[in-house]
Structure 1
């Protein structure tokens, strides 16, 4: 039997007795079972949600994961748009869904990338919404204009105000939530909107580095150094060599780690930009 499965169907087909079903398996949703010691993956939970509510449409974070968005854990909420009753373990939204706002993937109904973005921007806090929207846009780019067309077709729906705040902040160049948070820190502090994933070449055209976030006009950049930069000796050596090359080319690159304070990051970025000719706009 495939995992997960509909318990009643397995019993009816003679694969299991009711006693075996109760003893060896457990429910993840109403009527949907997995082996007792099996820890369901996100994919298992999405398939289970489809079995529990086959006419429902997967949206939100789970839908973004179906498109390949990273940084989605196995415990992410499974969000459904459906008229069926609520049940434990599923986030059910009874909302209007037009026929051109969903399709099927592997037999499972899923919101289009644009509708998924529409739902993420409305239902998540702004910071989390932008993180999830960045991750979706990174693997399945969508046009802001197309999302706004969905807005026009759902006048008065909940969350439009926060959607209009979150959508302009989306940048599919972000490759991790910390990068998104770092970029938002700069934008919200009034610094110029930076470019993401900017490639720097040497004088002879040789590749030097793809900088996470930068203001190329001023040759100022910022990179979020995760654990791999600190614990991997090979990565550390490469970073040292690359940073020397960037300095030779006149770049000032901030290296941000999770322990850094926001005020200190902003102070260094602002000082570097001002020293290279940036002039803040007067309000």
Structure 2
């Protein structure tokens, strides 16, 4: 069957447009096409992607609509678990449409970025949008990542949260207060939040020890320099390179020789046994005489670390 014009089946298209372009109903319902959302198809061999699904979600909206919330987070690559539905924001209530699998929001004053050819929320706005979709710790993960990997400033997140109203604004303001610079990984954020929510005084993030010439000699994930204690996250499940492992052991021995104490935490210490991690760190810091340390850890961390499945 001949397709009319330059109709592109390798981009998402409404089923009715496929029929208007000359594609038969039997063909559209056959193995050559797959459904992305209700009434939206694409050629079956086109790989799925956040951009493709965002394009499908935006198809029936005016050009001033943009992907937001979880959809924008997937396109930006925010390293958190997100709900599966797609999200679109429009500037006027009259532009709002109902689509299966798509949640539509209204905001008239939003700035927009373009990522991979798709109009999406700016990162500071996205931080606020995610406040009602993510728990506190994961929202801080998103904020730390935006600052470290995308060049967003902490004050931009604080300003966006401060300008937002309602429940999203309240949640975003709380999370923004915990966002820090120079955090290397989501797991470091989760480890830091576990300890801070337990009432342990906040550690320095990525403290650099330099030579007299300014060369970085060592870098510590989390540390309390006054009492020479380091906590590091190690995400390796096995030794991928013996040389690297030996170098790490040598580095840790040098730390011990400098009268620093190091505690190494793996993923199970955050996901399966967070209480054990809190006790290990608290006990060492108490032995070292850290000022401001409570006599026993607080219980505030428990709702945020309820024994998740172990992941790297």
TM-score normalized by structure 2?
0.74
Q: Against the structure 1 CA distance between its residues 218 and 76, is the aligned structure 2 distance closer, same or farther, given a 3 Å change threshold?
A: farther
Q: Against the structure 1 CA distance between its residues 48 and 191, is the aligned structure 2 distance closer, same or farther, given a 3 Å change threshold?
A: same
Q: Against the structure 1 CA distance between its residues 96 and 209, is the aligned structure 2 distance closer, same or farther, given a 3 Å change threshold?
A: same
**Mapped partners of 1:172, 1:235: distance in 2:** 26
Residue 35 of structure 2 corresponds to residue 27 of structure 1: yes
How large is the RMSD of aligned CA atoms in angstroms? 3.1
Question: Do 1:254 and 1:269's aligned partners in 2 also have CA atoms closer than 8 Å?
Answer: yes
Q: Which runs of 5+ in 1 are unaligned?
A: none
Equivalenced residues, count: 278
Greater CA drift, 181-190 or 223-232: 223-232
Matched with 2:175 is 166
Equivalent runs, 1:29-178 vs 2, <5 Å = 29-36=37-44, 40-53=48-61, 54-70=63-79, 77-82=85-90, 83-90=95-102, 92-99=103-110, 101-151=111-161, 153-155=163-165, 157-178=166-187
Other structure's SS at 1:197 match: strand
Q: Against the structure 1 CA distance between its residues 217 and 78, is the aligned structure 2 distance closer, same or farther, given a 3 Å change threshold?
A: farther
**Mapped partners of 1:281, 1:233: distance in 2:** 38
**Mapped partners of 1:216, 1:148: distance in 2:** 27
Question: Do 1:173 and 1:197's aligned partners in 2 also have CA atoms closer than 8 Å?
Answer: yes
Deviations along 1:159-212, one digit per CA (max 9) or x if unpaired, are: 332222211011243333322211001111121212222333468866444322
Greater CA drift, 242-251 or 112-121: 242-251
Q: Against the structure 1 CA distance between its residues 128 and 5, is the aligned structure 2 distance closer, same or farther, given a 3 Å change threshold?
A: same
Question: Do 1:114 and 1:147's aligned partners in 2 also have CA atoms closer than 8 Å?
Answer: yes
**Mapped partners of 2:239, 2:150: distance in 1:** 31
Compute the displacement of 1:147 (Å): 4.0
Question: Do 1:26 and 1:33's aligned partners in 2 also have CA atoms closer than 8 Å?
Answer: yes
Matched with 1:233 is 242
Question: Do 1:213 and 1:223's aligned partners in 2 also have CA atoms closer than 8 Å?
Answer: yes
Matched with 1:270 is 282
Q: Which runs of 5+ in 2 are unaligned?
A: 1-7, 296-312
